[in-house]
Structure 1
Amino acid sequence: MNFSRFYHVWLQHLQLLLEQLAASPKPITNEDQHYTIQLISRVMSHYDDYYRVKTHAAKNDVFSMFSASWLTSLEQSLNWIAGWRPTTIFHLVYTESSACFEARLLDLLQGNRTGDLGDLSPAQLARVSELQCETVRKENEITTELGSWQESACDIVSLLLDQEPEVERLVKVLEKADDLRLKTIKSVVEVLTPQQAVEFLIAAAELQFGVRGWGLAIDQRRGNT
C-alpha cells in the first residue's frame, strides 16, 4: 500500500475514532474512567501508527513527503516541514479553553467545577506554558537544520555528485519534525484529565477535518475555473 492510500484509510479510521470520542460519556464518572482512558489510548496509538508508517515511507522517498500529493493545496500551504506546526497544538488548547471558560463562566463564578478544558488548574496552565516554550525552542532548532540543508542543497553540482548523504540529512530533519509533532500531542494529553483529553482530541480531529474540507472545496472551485 502506498502512503497516499494509507493516509486516506488512516483518515477514515480517525473519523470513526472522532465519532467514538464525541459519543463518550460526559461528564466522566468513576465507572466511565476505564473506557475513556482506553479510548484515548486507541487514539494515541492511531497517531503512533501514522508517524511510524510515514517514517518508513520517508526513507524510501522523502521528497514525496514534502510534495504530499494526498493533501489539498490549502493543507500543503499550512505545512511546516511536511506536516502541521507543533505549536499549533497550544493555540488549539488556549482557544478551546477560552471558549469553554466563557460558556461555563457562571458555573465557575459560583465555584462549581466543570472539569472541562475551561477548568484548567493553575498547575496545568503552567505546565502547558512550559511545554509551549520547549516546543518553540525545538521548532526553531529544526527550522535552522532545514535551512542548513537547503543552503547545502543549493550547490547543485555537489548534490548531483553525492546525493545519498544529502537525502539522508533531509530524512533526519523530517524525522525530528515528526517526533516533535507526536511528542507535543502526547505531552499535552498527559497534562489533561481524561475528560479534558477527550475534548482536546475532538478539537484536534475536527480542526484537521475542517481544514481538509475547506481545502477540498477550494481545489474543486479551482478545478472548475
Structure 2
Amino acid sequence: MKKTPIEEKFSEFYEKWVSQLEEYLKFLVQDYTHQSDYENLIAKLTTHHKNYYRFKWAAAHEDVCAFFTPVWLTPLENAYLWVTGWKPSAVFRFVETSRRTGTMLADLTDDQVKKIEGLRLKIKNEEEKVEREMERQQVGIADRRMIELLEMTRSCGGGDAVAVKGLLSGLENVMKMGDCVRLKTLKGLLDLMNPKQQVELLAAQSMLHVQLRKWPG
C-alpha cells in the first residue's frame, strides 16, 4: 500500500532520528571525569527527545491515524508499542533489573529507590487513565460506519466531516496523553538521579531503542 504524505515525511524523519540517537549512544557509553561532560550529554539527549515529540505532534495533527498503524516501525518495534510509543512502566522494570544485577544504576541509594517506587505508582495510575481513554476511543472506532468514514477521509478528504473530526480529535488527544506520561516518566526519573546515573539510564534506553530497530525481522 502506498504511503500517505505524512507517512512518507515521518518515515524519513524517524530514520534520521534513530540514526542520530545511535551516534549519541557512542558517547553515552563512555566514562567521563567531569560532571559537566555528563550534563552536556544529558542536555543533547533531552533536546533530541523533545524534537521527536514536537515533530510527531505536528505530523499527527495532519494525520493522527498514521501513528496508530506506524508503517515506519519494524514488526518487533510494533510489538512493543503502547498507545503510539514505548510503555512507561517498562522503564521502571528495567531500572530495577539493572540495579539488582549491578549492570547499571547499581549505586542508587535507598532513598532514591524509595522515591523511584513512588514515581512508579504514580505513573501506573497515569497509564491506566490513558488506557481507559483509549478503550473509550476504540468503541467509536469499532463502529463500522466510523471506520468507513475515516478511510474515506484519509484517502480523498470526503466523508462526514463533523463525525470524523471528532474521532480524529479524540485519537490525537489520547496519543498526546500517552506521550505526556512518557515524558513525565523520563523527566521524573532523571530528576531523581545524579548526572552519571542519568547518562546510564539514557544510554540503556537508547541502546534498547536502537537494538529493537536493528533486530532482523
Aligned to 2:5: none
Aligned to 2:93: 91
Aligned to 2:121: 133
Residues 15-24 or 120-129, more deviating: 15-24
In angstroms, what is the RMSD of aligned CA positions? 1.6
Percent of aligned positions that are identical: 30
**CA–CA distance in 2 between the matches of 1:3 and 1:56?**
10
Equivalent position amino acid for 1:22 in 2: V
Aligned to 1:178: 179
Aligned to 2:72: 70
Q: TM-score, normalised by structure 2?
A: 0.86
Q: Find out whether 1:123 has 2:111 as its counterpart.
A: yes
Structure 2 CA distance for partners of 1:150 and 1:118, relative to 1, 3 Å? same
Q: TM-score, normalised by structure 1?
A: 0.83
Structure 2 CA distance for partners of 1:167 and 1:96, relative to 1, 3 Å? same
Q: Find out whether 1:15 has 2:22 as its counterpart.
A: yes
Deviations 1:175-203 (A, max 9, x none): 11011111211111111111111111111
* Structure 1 unaligned regions, length at least 5: 104-115, 219-225
- 2:188 is paired with a residue of what secondary structure? helix
Does the Cα contact within 8 Å between 1:127 and 1:191 map onto a contact in 2? yes
Deviation, structure 1 residue 158: 5.6
Residues 203-212 or 168-177, more deviating: 203-212
Does the Cα contact within 8 Å between 1:96 and 1:118 map onto a contact in 2? yes
Q: Map 1:31-180; keep pairs closer than 5 Å.
A: 32-100=34-102, 117-157=105-145, 160=149, 161=160, 162-180=163-181
* Structure 2 unaligned regions, length at least 5: 1-7, 150-159
**CA–CA distance in 2 between the matches of 1:189 and 1:19?**
20
Aligned to 1:222: none
**CA–CA distance in 2 between the matches of 1:46 and 1:129?**
27
Number of residue equivalences: 197
Deviation, structure 1 residue 208: 1.1
Equivalent position amino acid for 2:167 in 1: E
Does the Cα contact within 8 Å between 1:96 and 1:203 map onto a contact in 2? no
Deviation, structure 1 residue 155: 2.7
